[in-house]
Structure 1
Amino acid sequence: MSTLTPTAPEQTLPIRPAVAPPARLRWWQVLAIVAAAFNARTSVTAVGAALPEIRAALGLGTGAVVVLTALPCLCIAATTCLVPLLRRRMGTQTGIVLFLGFLLTGQAIRVAEGQWLLLAGTALACCAIGGTQVLLPAVCQQLGGRRAAGLTMLSASTIGAGAATATATTPWLTEIGGWRAGLGAWIVPVAFALLLWAPQSSTPRITAPQLEKPRRPLLRSPGAWYLTTFMGLQSLQALSLLSWQPVLLRTTGADPAQAAALSTNTLVVSIAASAVITASCYRRTTHIGRWMVLTTCSGGLGLLGLLIAPSAAPVLWAALLGVGMAALAPAMAAIPVQAADGDETTRLSAMVQGFGYLLAAIGPALIGTLTDATSNAEWTLTALLFCNLVQLLFAALSNRLPAQAEAPARLPKTAPEVRPVPPG
């Protein structure tokens, strides 16, 4: 009578894993990811910081300014749909090298003579930013393994740090050397990132054996839409504040110097909050959903304070808004957590950022219209507060995702079951 317990030789059957274990994460790989993420906002925020000088030098009309300020969200959203196909053809790391090359080319073109070259170079740079942002969660999952969420959150924090750095230093650079120096200076960090990534594009790709499984239709996934809507509303508020916060603060009674200082305080707090969130979620991904809720609540309290009592505690309101802008970090980190593999991570990242930035594109235009149409900031702050409440709803829904059956199935951590081999 045969036994159901397999013998030692039978327990060593060649069982292929679903995903090959990632190699050990090297410090230079982390540096490369940070360098790529740093450049994912600088070329956008630098234009906003130098916009008065650009408009005066090139004689840009209102239509050209509207196009120039709307290009980032539109180009990022338009590029995202092509990234999953591109990744399947050439790989994640080679794709990042390609987009960094486009980013370098676009930034070089736009500092040439003429407003059409400025628009064309900005469009190419923004398309490159969209591709880089979509691929960052996938490359973090590919290189980071179990630390993918923490690595993605680190990249998201670096994106915010790059945006704040460009916003703070571009006016100073523009004052020294003109608007071309203010925009052209950001070619240097792109070239540095490209030098770090270029050797990786020549590394042969090793494809791990994958289990045959159907691709999850993300467009019919409620969880994917929860995260997409959260990302869109978060980006809408963040881009609106980056563009209009000094103006809004001045309409609430702050003088120009105080408005500039409070806006800088918001950016500094957002960087610090992103670092704290990254440290909190590096080992415990279960904190990601909670931070989505907490950062949204903080941003809402800051908006409510500006609406009800703007002069009572302006520094506190600016700090709360900075914590709210840090919601990008948990939103980006949730992408690899909710995806089953690298291909799904790329598709989910493309969906979240593509549709999300289409929604975000409404923000600056809406806030600008309300600000110009009214003599105070009440209607503008009310609109932002309403968006914040809707964002809080989707943050709460996204926080429930790990407990739902809709989350993608993962391999068990225990050893795979070994079925007995019949004797003879």
Structure 2
Amino acid sequence: MIRTRDELEAQERVMLASHAQKSGDSEGRIHPEPKHPHRTDYQRDRARVIHSRAFRRLEYKTQVFLNGTGDHLRTRLTHTFEVANITRTIARALGLNEDLAEVIALAHDLGHPPFGHTGEETLDELMHEHGGFDHNEQSLRIVDVIELRYPKFPGLNLSHEVREGLQKHARFYESTKPGGKRTTHPSLEAQVANLADEITYYSHDLDDGLDFKLLEPRQLADLEAWSDTEAQVRRDFPGLKGAELRAYAIRCLIDRQVADVVRTSSARIESAGVRSADDVRAYSRPLIAYSDALRRANVQLRKFLYKNLYYHPSVAGANKAACEMLGNVFQAYLKKPELLGEATARRVDRGGLHRTVCDYVSGMTDRYLLDEHARLSKEARKPTAKRTKKTARKKTARKKTARKKTARKKTARKKTARKRKALRTRK
């Protein structure tokens, strides 16, 4: 039996909660396309994101530690998969649309530049007078404009609900459909992806910090989120120690946070009385949330990580040096746009020089930017045509001077020889 898209959409209406975003209720795409016979819109969107070049580049972009620092440390790509996994878990538990929630999670970090948040701050400073830089806005720009995968339109032409979910920090959420509604909050699926990112980010950064020996277990004793979880693990498994204890505690920390979000969000949804996805968008506050106790514990954890990991001298020092290189590459392209390559340089007329350079640099992986910096530095040290001509003139002048000196010495030797011969003849 072959299932059609119509059957999949009908199944969603039966299986999903009334307040979930149904594929059949999508506002569609910026550029209209025929429906797929066997896949819903959000299933198509997921495939488009996974097959994009921007998604593949996440493998070589920094999460916290520069790419290549350690074999087991997380990159933007592994982080993205972890966010998507937690997103699906929460969405499934709440009866939401897993496909929509997952594609938002998969696309949420496409706009991150090389070198993580330090790289983002550097680009924002460089673009201060030209609209700034924000990785969330850049994610939307990538799927709307930069990715070139289809002959009839720019970007990936994702569904409106996916694009809505990428407007992470917007005060209001604008529909991209002509005449569409302006809403206070995005879908529950987008809210789930947003919170799953936070759960994943801090828990796994803590794990990497411990694994890389930048954090010591004793430093975590005063963290409520960690101490409660560790105490539970010690009760359940008295024999666990060291790395095994830490690994299981991280797992339990995530499980506890996911369970808390599911319980709290379910209660908020029921209390709000929302009956449709439109009700969710019109509601006065987000409905996917932590409990107050866990929110306070996570604030404490976040402050700890910023103080002890993100601004750790070895992390900050490496990122600072890398971002100086980022700035040098950015400035080199501004001075010589032809270095961007023909295809990218053609975008300058449409998007302006600074935005085009920003798009190009932000799309680089850590490794590519370091290689490009080395290449541009080497090119800068090469003699220019002007310097080459000047050097050639100096070399020619030196040769002429040397020939004249040689000729004078030769003439002097001949004169001396003639004088000596004349003296011998007289004798």
The alignment's TM-score, normalised by the length of structure 2, stands at: 0.27
Higher RCO (CA 8 Å, separation ≥ 6 residues): 1
Q: Write 1 or 2 for the structure with the bigger share of helix.
A: 1
